[in-house]
Copies of this chain bind each other. A is one copy, B any other.
Amino acid sequence: MAPQKFTRVVLAQRPVGHIDDKTFRKETIPYDLKPSTPDSVVVQVDWLSLDPAMRGWLNDTRSYLPPVQIGEIMRAEGLGTVIEVGSGSKFKVGDVVKGTFGWTEYAVMKDKTLTKIEAPTHVESLDFLGVLGASGMTAYFGLLDVGKIQPGETLVVSGAAGAVGSVVCQIGKIKGAKVVAIAGSAEKCRWLENDLGVDKAINYKDADFKEQFKKHVGYLDVFFDNVGGEILDFALTRLNQKARIVLCGAISDYNAPKPRGLQSYLNLISQRARIEGFIVFDYASQYATAADEMGHWIKDGKLKRKFHTVEGIASAPEALPMLFTGGNTGKLVVKVSQIQTSRL
């Protein structure tokens, strides 16, 4: 049953530094949604994914996606349920679909922008926003294709308790690497060591962080970086020859008008090492293969996942900054509708 009104959240102004209460604006508007063409549907949004990359979409700069425009619904991937179909749609009412709905409770979507989700028995629909979604794919292709991790190598992961980092740590162990995780609280470190099985987790807020890093890492072969800034710069001083630094994200620098800068980059020369950035969308044609392999790891209990859930679309603006302050452990999602799509 469609409601009389629904809520969406739009970009009100571009943040210069941190996201604040002026960045987004909540709008509650009359519900008058209909399939716009025969090959479109109306979707009730059930879950939305919150990701660090969203901070970049708020900047009016050249990047891999156009910036979100002022007044536009904030871009976000999600899972939803088809509630009304156009006359020529390939979907049925009740289908669970994944798409870039944005921060809204309901969305009119073209068929071709949607993927029907049919979760195998050993995974949940919600996994398609996590391990089997962009964050899991980012971990998989970043570590294996960009980082080219090898058995016996030393892997260090920053932002290790986050959606991407926690998967990277586990794939690292599956591939036979020594894995040292970096996170921002003792609780996260315990989770990483006890539940995810990393060899050592280090709290970067500890006063002796650098000494712990030197002691437990020694020198590293792959640094999977979600954080940037000071930790990345320090990692550059601890490279083995031919080390690969996988530049996935830089949550410490996304909100900085002017990043601190990498001062230790000269070590890349003496250690014949490289820093490489990547965008997971480039691997879209290989997602299915990766999802299949990761699904088996889930089934075999080798890949654990954790969701951090906030309730209601109106919570999204306050929840997003958590990704930069360390408020979440695991994949941050917004539960938008009251539907129960997951047993996780």
Contact = CB atoms under 8 A, between A and B. Distances in A.
Interface string A53-67: 000100000111000
A269 B261 contact: no
Query: Taking the full assembly, how many copies of this chain does it contain?
Result: 2
A266 interface: yes
A282 to B, nearest CB: 6
Contact of A259 (B228, B266, B273, B277): B266
A67 to B, nearest CB: 11
Nearest to A242: B282
A265 interface: yes
Contact of A56 (B265, B270, B276): B270
Contact of A248 (B259, B269, B273): B269
B276 A268 contact: yes
A114 interface: no
Interface string A242-256: 000001111001100
Contacts of A275: 265, 268, 274-276
A28 interface: no
Given A271-B277, A277-B271, A247 B263 contact: no
A261 B263 contact: yes
A266 to B, nearest CB: 6
